[in-house]
Amino acid sequence: MSIPLSMIYTPTYQSKQVLETVNYKISPQHVFLDNASTDGTVEFLRGKGHQVEAHSKNMGRVENWAACLTHFLTKQDAPWFKWLFCGDSLVDHAEDLIATYAQKFPEAGLLIFSYDILHADNRTTTWFPFKGTCVLSPDACAADVVRHGNIFGAPVAHVLSRTVLSNPYTFGSLPWVADMRVCLELSRHMPVAFIQEKIGVFNMNH
């Protein structure tokens, strides 16, 4: 069996109602990691044929995110990790985008893509922090975070390499910035490619 380029991970908790509104493709490259839901999330996903790993007890929100990375590093062989939080979506050619830019920027440990934001009033806006595609060194990344705050965007933007994940990292102690924190820590070790092509949609309605 060939090794896939990337594995998609979706952390879930009491997510059945949201999952009923989206149509995620059944794929061996997509793993759902459930945090001891009691609303039928696991049964719903397994009934659809999805690959689900379920904790026996609630680990905490961010701890479940960390468990996704651990599962990837210990159970998978793919070179790239992709977040897909519940309710968000990826473009059909997301895997091709990852392949293209992983090859174009082999020095990068993180690929950060543009994405659309679906707002509560159904407006759509586009997120991207720079004027065009670029690669930032660790020092340049740190400087831009100091100047501008979160330059990494939402998790739908993030693609993390197995190589960069071999370095120490933490999500920190603040859940509302944990995704930014882990990107910032990983960006200390390898350059980050910011890519203007859109990889998906961040749905703020969930």
CA 30/CA 33 separation, integer angstroms? 10
Per-10-residue mean pLDDT, the chain, length 206: 90 97 95 98 97 96 96 98 97 97 98 97 96 98 96 98 96 88 97 98 92
CA atoms within 13 A on the CB side of 118: 12
User: Residue 1: its pLDDT value, please?
Assistant: 58
User: Residue 178: its pLDDT value, please?
Assistant: 95
Please tell me the pTM assigned to this model: 0.96
Distances (CA, A) of 36 to 33, 85, 149: 9, 16, 33
- Cβ neighbours around 104 below 10 Å, total: 13
User: Residue 14: its pLDDT value, please?
Assistant: 97
The residue with tokens 């859940």 is 175
User: Residue 42: its pLDDT value, please?
Assistant: 98
What is the tally of helices (H) and strands (E) in the chain? 7, 10
CA 113/CA 158 separation, integer angstroms? 7
User: Residue 182: its pLDDT value, please?
Assistant: 97
Contact 114, 197 (CB under 8 A): yes
User: Residue 176: its pLDDT value, please?
Assistant: 83
CA 134/CA 193 separation, integer angstroms? 6
